[in-house]
Structure 1
Amino acid sequence: MITVVGEALIDLISSESGTYRSAPGGAPANTAVALARLGVDSSLLARIGSDRFGRQLRAYVASRGVDTRDLVSAEQPSTLAIANLDEHGHASYDFYVKGTADWQWAPDELPDPIPEDVAALHLGSLAMAMEPGASVLREWAARQRGRTVISYDPNIRPALAGEPARARARVEDQIALADVVKVSDEDVHWLFEREPGPDSSELLLETARSWLALGPVLVAVTRGGEQTTVVVRGREDAPLSLTPAPVEVVDTVGAGDAFCAGLLDAFGQAGALGAGGRERLAALTDARLAVCVEHAHRVAAHTCRRVGADPGELDLAPLEF
């Protein structure tokens, strides 16, 4: 079982006509759904409101095969995210978050310790940023270290992140809890207040190396349709870079979340999750690691070919290492 921790919210996605359509979303929910689409046993640890949107979210994740054992019923309303798409299908977001269900965690709502069948915890996004719940989740996650592999994607939303320097301090504190970190180039540029440019590759690589020193054994930096760079503890001077195959993009909603799902699925197939997974992740050869990253690229591409974050049916052959 891979348990994804965080928000499940409603995306209101813009269209060319100027109208908006509602769709279940939230990066953690997207990752859990993509894992289930891959045939991976996945659960979503999220607070779900009792309003109409909350009922829609609960029904959605269950219908996609996500185990609902960890869903927490909440009295607060559901969170809304307004996703505006540009001509390239890239989304920018505004949010309605005040007093909503996703951020009101109490310690007794969290399984502590996590069940023995959990091979990985995936954390990140708004649930790890929005108080008062973020501090509760952070302390809970710290107590799970060593029991399973912990994966983290900061998934920055600038509209809610506050000042970059303060957000960077929070992100780096949470990175110290993780075994695996996935981050986008956009997030790194925003956190370090740097515009993309000729020195971007150097910034991304140095960031990955500095974050490894905080505790993870593997950091993967994605750059959309350009190369993904992976740096592994003990091999900091020999990063692995792989470029995804070209894809006709409909929209990029959920692409990063699908990448996380694909990477975790691949690590599971490689036998590198569960208790003791840190050591097995660090021991992955570049050849085996390349198979994992290429699998993640394929899963993300499926999402980019469709409207919305759900990658659809994923009938992919077992990986060969």
Structure 2
Amino acid sequence: MFIVCGEALFDVFAQTATPTGFALDARIGGAPFNLAVGLARMAQPVAMLTTLSRGFLGERLLQTLLDEGVSTALVQRSDAATTLSLVGTDAAGVPAYAFYGEGCADRLLQVPTTLPADARVLCLGSYTTVVGEVAVSLRALVARERPNVLIAYDPNIRRNVVDDVAVWRTQIDWMLPHTDVLKLSDEDLRLIDGGDPDRFAQQAIAQGVSLVLLTRGAAGATAWTSSQRCEVTAPATQVIDTVGAGDTFQAAALAWLAEHEALRVERLRSLSGDALRSLLGFAVQAAAITCARRGADLPRRAQLPAA
């Protein structure tokens, strides 16, 4: 089973102005939440480890997990509010962002005493790894479970939440020796390193990472192990938006590893060049499906070919 830790929120888009304010469109979001749903849609057993509000927004998040087949056995509840990420435009038409997360439910996670006996992979990333007590809790969980499960980490840097890149670099530096599968975007890499992707990947591998996955948007993706390097181009697609594309890529990549019984350190390290090409091809194809849809509408396993 995959255990996905992190935020669950609503992205709220300010649309047309009305005589008394704005028409708003609220969409369920949060990279870890999307990943959990994506894994479930890839027919993988998955549980979400987060804290949800007891308010109506939290109830909607909980119901979505249940509807998608994500286990809620590890979900904690709180009277705190649900995080909101607001997106609008300023007077010049430039996108403007406001984030309301301080003291919200997804920052109040307590480390469970144990994980389910069938837990195989612990997935985490994004802003809950760098804010307040939830970051402390997640570090404690990773340190405790490192000998027992694989760790999959996606920094998913969000400067609208934590602007100081040094905070993200510190977290990534701590995570690398505790990570088996590292997925990051080219934008993440530019912020934390700004250098050569091959050099960064080999440095990560030298610290203990078994598999590094780098998404490069329309240019495709690259993978590294200690002995292999592979890159693929993204399939041509009519892009509606890229919301959830990175989460889709990670869900599909992890599902590919599960289907190929490669969720063990020795198997990750011994993946051949052909295997990496197959993994990347599967993941970029899944991401392309999401890009051709409005919002984070991740594909189901039946919509993709055999891995």
TM superposition score normalised by structure 2: 0.90
Task: Note closer, same or farther for the CA distance 1:257–1:166 as it changes in structure 2 (3 Å cut).
Answer: same
1:283 and 2:287 aligned: no
Match of 1:197 in 2: none
Shift of residue 14, structure 1, vs aligned partner: 5.0
Task: Note closer, same or farther for the CA distance 1:84–1:251 as it changes in structure 2 (3 Å cut).
Answer: farther
Match of 2:247 in 1: 257
SS at 1:263 equivalent: helix
Match of 1:88 in 2: none
Match of 1:151 in 2: 152
Task: Note closer, same or farther for the CA distance 1:252–1:317 as it changes in structure 2 (3 Å cut).
Answer: closer
**Counterpart among 206, 219, 223 of residue 226 in structure 1:** 219
Report if the CA contact (8 A) 2:222-2:280 is conserved.
no
Matches of 2:10 and 2:203 in 1, distance apart?
Answer: 35
SS at 2:52 equivalent: strand
Shift of residue 84, structure 1, vs aligned partner: 5.6
Match of 2:167 in 1: 166
Q: Which amino acid aligns with 1:209?
A: Q
Structure 2 gaps, min length 5: 90-94
SS at 2:222 equivalent: strand
Shift of residue 120, structure 1, vs aligned partner: 1.2
Match of 1:39 in 2: 43
Q: Which amino acid aligns with 1:130?
A: V
Shift of residue 171, structure 1, vs aligned partner: 1.4
Report if the CA contact (8 A) 1:176-1:215 is conserved.
yes
1:165-202 deviation line (CA, Å, top 9, x unaligned): 2321211212221100000011111223x4xxxxxxx6
Q: Which amino acid aligns with 1:39?
A: A
Q: Which amino acid aligns with 2:4?
A: V
Greater CA drift, 263-272 or 155-164: 155-164
Report if the CA contact (8 A) 2:123-2:151 is conserved.
yes
Shift of residue 19, structure 1, vs aligned partner: 4.5
Q: Which amino acid aligns with 2:280?
A: V
Match of 2:135 in 1: 134
Task: Note closer, same or farther for the CA distance 1:111–1:25 as it changes in structure 2 (3 Å cut).
Answer: farther
Matches of 1:311 and 1:84 in 2, distance apart?
Answer: 24
1:308 and 2:295 aligned: yes
Matches of 2:136 and 2:125 in 1, distance apart?
Answer: 12
Shift of residue 15, structure 1, vs aligned partner: 4.9
**Counterpart among 59, 82, 85 of residue 81 in structure 1:** 85
Match of 2:9 in 1: 9
Task: Note closer, same or farther for the CA distance 1:111–1:260 as it changes in structure 2 (3 Å cut).
Answer: farther
SS at 1:10 equivalent: strand
Matches of 1:129 and 1:305 in 2, distance apart?
Answer: 31
1:212 and 2:205 aligned: yes
Matches of 1:125 and 1:262 in 2, distance apart?
Answer: 18
Greater CA drift, 148-157 or 205-214: 205-214
Task: Note closer, same or farther for the CA distance 1:271–1:46 as it changes in structure 2 (3 Å cut).
Answer: same
Task: Note closer, same or farther for the CA distance 1:221–1:10 as it changes in structure 2 (3 Å cut).
Answer: same
Matches of 1:222 and 1:14 in 2, distance apart?
Answer: 29
Report if the CA contact (8 A) 1:172-1:214 is conserved.
no
Shift of residue 134, structure 1, vs aligned partner: 0.4
Matches of 1:210 and 1:16 in 2, distance apart?
Answer: 48
1:95 and 2:96 aligned: no
SS at 1:69 equivalent: coil
Report if the CA contact (8 A) 1:33-1:310 is conserved.
no
Task: Note closer, same or farther for the CA distance 1:111–1:243 as it changes in structure 2 (3 Å cut).
Answer: farther
Q: Which amino acid aligns with 1:7?
A: E
Greater CA drift, 307-316 or 114-123: 307-316
Report if the CA contact (8 A) 2:7-2:31 is conserved.
yes
Q: Percent identity?
A: 33
Matches of 2:109 and 2:273 in 1, distance apart?
Answer: 39
Aligned residues: 298
SS at 1:244 equivalent: coil
SS at 1:43 equivalent: strand
1:128-157 deviation line (CA, Å, top 9, x unaligned): 111111011111111111312110000000
Match of 1:120 in 2: 121
Task: Note closer, same or farther for the CA distance 1:299–1:211 as it changes in structure 2 (3 Å cut).
Answer: same
Greater CA drift, 258-267 or 171-180: 171-180
Report if the CA contact (8 A) 2:78-2:105 is conserved.
yes
Task: Note closer, same or farther for the CA distance 1:14–1:171 as it changes in structure 2 (3 Å cut).
Answer: farther
Q: Which amino acid aligns with 1:167?
A: W
**Counterpart among 51, 56, 60 of residue 60 in structure 2:** 56
Structure 1 gaps, min length 5: 86-90, 195-201
**Counterpart among 254, 267, 270 of residue 257 in structure 2:** 267
**Counterpart among 58, 64, 68 of residue 72 in structure 2:** 68
Report if the CA contact (8 A) 2:220-2:284 is conserved.
no
